[in-house]
Structure 1
Amino acid sequence: MKENEEKAAGASRRDFVKTSALAAAGFTIVPRFVLGKGYRAPSDTLYYASVGLGGKGASDNSAFVKSGKAKPAFLCDVDQDYAAKIYNQYPDAKKYTDWREMFDKEHKKFDAVHCATPDHTHAVVATAAMALKKHIYVQKPMAHDVYEARMMANMGNKYKVITQMGNQGSSGDGVRQLQEWFDAGVIGDVTEVYCWTNRPVWPQGSYGANTPNGLKWPQASTTPPSTLNWDLWQGTAKERPFPIGQDQPGGVKILPFNWRGWWDYGTGVLGDMGAHILHAPMKVLGLQYVSSVQTSISGGGSLDVGPASNYTIMTFPKTAKTSGPVRVHWMDGGMIPPRPVELDPSEQWGSGDGGMLFIGTKGKMHAGCYASRARLLPVSRMDDVNVPEKIARVKDGEGGHYAQWVEACLAGYGNMKTSSPFEEAALLTEAMLMCNLAIRGVNVPKAADVGSTSDAAGGRRRGGGGFPARYVNLEYDAPNMKVTNVPEVNQFVKREYRPGWKLSGI
């Protein structure tokens, strides 16, 4: 037997041993990775590891499995009580508490990773997965900080893996319809877009009679539940004691959902809904990096927690699809733009979760959250306008977002596109996070002149200190990820992680 043939025979025997071991461990179908590069199991099943199982993690897993071509081989969560339902739903999957341990021990036994942890750990999980050359699906927003998003933007291409952010509206028909209308010149050139949402629906800012001055981390602490690894849950964030609950004076409830309003862990309203509502304007108009951002807030907010509402304006430079700069207005916490006069009184204005309005030189178009129910204004124009369908639709629309990622992973890098690959999702995420930078920045005191009592326009500042980001349009040097006119806010571009946590493979 020739040397190459002997090696091939040895490899086949080793593969058989691996396959047998996996079957004994609960796998009923041979995973693709066992068969080697370029080969697939007869079932075309994607075996993946899932990190973060409660809430959105649970529905994500159900959607992947519903595709008929994916199976969670490993499940990981820091909260065993919260994850119990998913553990029971997939009893064959091996369970872990620390994803780093899971990656270290099991990375040869799965092809892809799903991440639905709180926002502050998205990037560390995702970069570690990509560095191991695993396909990755990350819930929105794909990152907590501008720096993280920028570092992740090209990693899918660098490691030749399939990437997808969990903004399922990017797979919907609505954004494609809006894009076809705009590309056909139906509403002319666009310079203004309005976006809004009903969020927050969690405690944030000045929230109710018990927190008239805004939420604060309790001075008193308690022992976390025995089923929760609080240290692992904090992840990259600074260490804090587990807070007393909201049933006690001065207490708060962080888990399982209210972390969204706390800047150490969540990304506020923009992080929750921006990816669903800002995606269409950015995609339709070809928007890239913001050039400036300005904001006003109400209902509290601090360096620890987001405000109850905000109105933020992003300015984007001219693109290949616009004649000049575009201003995108973001409103939340109950604020919405004026109802267009062209909208019939019987027509729905946006949707329950929010909406968007494109104002063009020849007309307007609007849609709800996820770009659903796309409409021309006045709606009667839809009877007269006939634009050919040129952009391929995703099977099952928004619901097909998950199966699309599974199919792309099985097809292999370079063979199939996803609706929200990281190179596009990073632009969207950075725009959202630049809004957050402005929102957080209004509470940052002036570095060199904290005692100043007047602003650049000669007005008094609230609290007697200097707050240079208030009443200012922040100018952004995108190539260098720096705000040039108010350097105090650049601390939010990149945060410091706790020891033991880092980005991988950048």
Structure 2
Amino acid sequence: MEEQKLEKTAESRRSFIKSAAIASAAFMIVPRHVLGGKGFLAPSDRLVVAGVGVGGKGQSDIAKFYESGKADIGYLCDVDTRRAATTVKAFPKAKFYKDWREMFDKEGKNFDAVSVSTPDHNHAIITLAAMQMGKHVYVQKPLTHDIYEARLLTEAAKKYKVVTQMGNQGASNDGPRQMKEWYDAGLIGDVHTVYAWTDRPVWPQGIPWSANKTEIPKELDWDLWLGTAPYKEYVDKLVPFNWRGWWDYGTGALGDMGCHLLEAPFSVLNLKYASEVQASVGSVYVDEFKRGYFPDSCPPSSHVILKFPKTNKTQGDVVVHWMDGGIQPERPEELAANEVFGDGGNGTLFIGTKGKLMSSTYSANPRLLPLSRNKDIKVPEKFARVKGAADGHYAQWVEASIAGYGKKELSSPFEIAGPLTEALLMANLAIRGVDVQRKNAEGKIIYPGRNIKLLWDNDNMKITNLDDVNQYVKREYRKGWTLGTL
């Protein structure tokens, strides 16, 4: 009975609104908690969620939706039953599938929303399919693997009028709101330069593809895990974590941490689409004379410089520096020798005409430099805080999905998350462009250079000065996998 009730909740929500007008007169003078018991939530006030990718980060995502108190976990899907085991045990009444396509086909009428927490390369195909079914979507960061996919999902959210949220939970922290208030109050003047840095990757990068082929674990459907990516034989230690360092599946340190560290610059300065990008990367040497060439793998470190056009919050262009692999910007002279820069391994620094502003990972703990300036800040709150901050990021999406498209504000809807993701992926274009092989007139292999600049035509989603890099704007899916169109 309990399971049947769960599966009918989504249908009940739809029929509830239809019958509300007829029933309203009988309910007007009777408190809801009397009718349904203490803590009662009407069918129209609950969200039935289907999770795709429910191990690892997906496991904690599903748990947070449930903890909101307004979500029922109706369906679970994962290609690896080992990774899914904890979540399946926690929600024994939720029906389990290995293939999200089968789950969508068979159960689509029974759920309202979809959480996507798969490796990056399968985000877009699952998300767009869900949106085209009219389902609200919560997608882990980065939103997509390719720029084309990010643009498509941004447009799809508007067309299908579904509630969307990307899983960069720091966007719901108090930090970005406080920084916006301080910036709008003029405490650091006009920002022209931003630095963001991370100690990632903490997985292997800048290495050749493993020759360590091994048997596929019986619990893992390797073909489904590959999804849109080119077919390769299964190798040890790629799943469940180290895929992040391979271009076929992941987006490197930028994809992992960029959505957390660059969210504040985007929200504070209202950045949108970059106009140009340049990059240099750390080299890997095979021996003392020869640089290693491993085009399948992200580099061990990089420094990327993005230029953004003037916005309504800036007086001119904004230059954003991204550094990963342990590279950090020069310490501000206003920061004392023993004071921590960012949070040690990660951070963001805004440089304005009247001062500097620094924060830690997830835009936490914002503070003016020198730190003595933080004693007497008197700027009133003007942006509403999210209840529960980062944890509230999940409840915010649940409640907005129940309310319906356009009814409630979200911290990272696709209209914000899409352009942010595009900026990160554009940075990756420059990183990949460093190692694009070309041949000169004599047939000798050459490279664009160890430091390159790319010029971006945003309307046409195209690099205008190095066409070889455009192959990464929109990749080819493996045969049998097709991204839908609007």
Task: Give the TM-score, by structure 1 length.
Answer: 0.87
User: How big is the shift at 1:223?
Assistant: 2.5
> In structure 2, what is the equivalent of residue 288 of structure 1?
272
> In structure 1, what is the equivalent of residue 11 of structure 2?
33
Task: Identify which of 222, 234, 246 aligns with 1:262.
Answer: 246
> In structure 1, what is the equivalent of residue 118 of structure 2?
117
> In structure 1, what is the equivalent of residue 36 of structure 2?
none
Distance 1:412 1:338 in 2: 46
- Native 8 Å contact 1:26 1:92 kept in 2: no
User: How big is the shift at 1:411?
Assistant: 0.9
Task: Identify which of 479, 494, 499 aligns with 2:459.
Answer: 479
- Summarize the alignment of residues 190-229 of structure 1 with structure 2, pairs less than 5 Å apart: 190-205=191-206, 214-218=207-211, 221-229=213-221
> In structure 1, what is the equivalent of residue 42 of structure 2?
42
User: How big is the shift at 1:27?
Assistant: 3.2
Task: Identify which of 457, 464, 468 aligns with 1:488.
Answer: 468
> In structure 1, what is the equivalent of residue 65 of structure 2?
64
Distance 1:291 1:450 in 2: 34
Structure 1: runs of 5 or more not aligned: 1-22, 206-213, 246-252, 453-464
1:331 and 2:331 are equivalent in the alignment? no
- Native 8 Å contact 1:469 1:489 kept in 2: no
What percent identity do the matched residue pairs reach?
A: 54
- Summarize the alignment of residues 300-449 of structure 1 with structure 2, pairs less than 5 Å apart: 300=284, 302-446=294-438, 449=441
- Native 8 Å contact 2:50 2:73 kept in 1: yes
Distance 1:419 1:33 in 2: 28
- Native 8 Å contact 1:81 1:227 kept in 2: yes
- Native 8 Å contact 2:440 2:446 kept in 1: no
User: How big is the shift at 1:380?
Assistant: 1.6
Query: Measured at CA, do residues 386 and 447 of structure 1 come closer, stay the same or move farther in structure 2, by a change above 3 Å?
Result: farther
User: How big is the shift at 1:268?
Assistant: 0.5
Query: Measured at CA, do residues 364 and 85 of structure 1 come closer, stay the same or move farther in structure 2, by a change above 3 Å?
Result: same
- Summarize the alignment of residues 135-154 of structure 1 with structure 2, pairs less than 5 Å apart: 135-154=136-155
> In structure 1, what is the equivalent of residue 29 of structure 2?
none
SS in 2 for 1:233: helix
User: How big is the shift at 1:344?
Assistant: 3.2
> In structure 2, what is the equivalent of residue 107 of structure 1?
108
Distance 1:383 1:476 in 2: 43
User: How big is the shift at 1:195?
Assistant: 0.4
Query: Measured at CA, do residues 281 and 42 of structure 1 come closer, stay the same or move farther in structure 2, by a change above 3 Å?
Result: same
- Native 8 Å contact 1:237 1:497 kept in 2: yes
Distance 2:215 2:304 in 1: 39
Query: Measured at CA, do residues 353 and 163 of structure 1 come closer, stay the same or move farther in structure 2, by a change above 3 Å?
Result: farther
> In structure 2, what is the equivalent of residue 211 of structure 1?
none
- Native 8 Å contact 2:279 2:303 kept in 1: yes
User: How big is the shift at 1:447?
Assistant: 5.7
Distance 1:170 1:30 in 2: 33
- Native 8 Å contact 1:197 1:334 kept in 2: yes
> In structure 1, what is the equivalent of residue 38 of structure 2?
none
1:167 and 2:168 are equivalent in the alignment? yes
SS in 2 for 1:479: coil
> In structure 2, what is the equivalent of residue 20 of structure 1?
none
- Native 8 Å contact 2:430 2:452 kept in 1: no
Distance 1:102 1:500 in 2: 18
- Native 8 Å contact 1:469 1:486 kept in 2: no
- Summarize the alignment of residues 271-282 of structure 1 with structure 2, pairs less than 5 Å apart: 271-282=255-266
- Native 8 Å contact 1:149 1:430 kept in 2: yes
Query: Measured at CA, do residues 130 and 352 of structure 1 come closer, stay the same or move farther in structure 2, by a change above 3 Å?
Result: farther
- Of stretches 337-346 and 432-441 in structure 1, the one that deviates more from structure 2 is 337-346
User: How big is the shift at 1:427?
Assistant: 0.4
Query: Measured at CA, do residues 352 and 53 of structure 1 come closer, stay the same or move farther in structure 2, by a change above 3 Å?
Result: farther
- Native 8 Å contact 2:203 2:245 kept in 1: yes
Q: Which amino acid aligns with 1:236?
A: T
Distance 1:439 1:82 in 2: 32
- C-alpha offsets along residues 321-375 of structure 1, whole Å, 9 cap, x if unaligned? 1111111001111111122121234532112551000000000000001110000
Distance 2:435 2:396 in 1: 42
User: How big is the shift at 1:37?
Assistant: 5.9
- C-alpha offsets along residues 75-94 of structure 1, whole Å, 9 cap, x if unaligned? 00000111111111110000
- Native 8 Å contact 1:438 1:469 kept in 2: no
Moved runs in structure 1, 4+ residues, more than 4 A?
447-450
Distance 1:485 1:445 in 2: 15
Q: Which amino acid aligns with 2:176?
A: V
Distance 1:268 1:37 in 2: 45
- C-alpha offsets along residues 455-499 of structure 1, whole Å, 9 cap, x if unaligned? xxxxxxxxxx22126432111111111111111100000000012
Aligned length: 455
Structure 2: runs of 5 or more not aligned: 21-40, 285-292
- C-alpha offsets along residues 89-130 of structure 1, whole Å, 9 cap, x if unaligned? 110000000000100110000000000000000000100000
User: How big is the shift at 1:68?
Assistant: 0.9
User: How big is the shift at 1:270?
Assistant: 0.4
User: How big is the shift at 1:445?
Assistant: 1.4
Distance 2:7 2:81 in 1: 27
RMSD of the alignment, in Å? 1.7
Distance 1:138 1:342 in 2: 39
Distance 1:371 1:35 in 2: 37
Task: Give the TM-score, by structure 2 length.
Answer: 0.90
SS in 1 for 2:196: strand
SS in 1 for 2:278: strand
Q: Which amino acid aligns with 1:36?
A: R
Distance 2:311 2:379 in 1: 23
SS in 2 for 1:136: strand
Distance 1:446 1:408 in 2: 49
Q: Which amino acid aligns with 2:472?
A: F
SS in 2 for 1:147: helix
Distance 2:343 2:92 in 1: 38
SS in 2 for 1:473: strand
Distance 2:307 2:89 in 1: 48
SS in 2 for 1:154: helix
Distance 1:373 1:329 in 2: 20
SS in 2 for 1:27: helix
- C-alpha offsets along residues 197-244 of structure 1, whole Å, 9 cap, x if unaligned? 010000111xxxxxxxx23242x633301111000000000011112x
- Native 8 Å contact 2:73 2:94 kept in 1: yes
Query: Measured at CA, do residues 306 and 29 of structure 1 come closer, stay the same or move farther in structure 2, by a change above 3 Å?
Result: closer
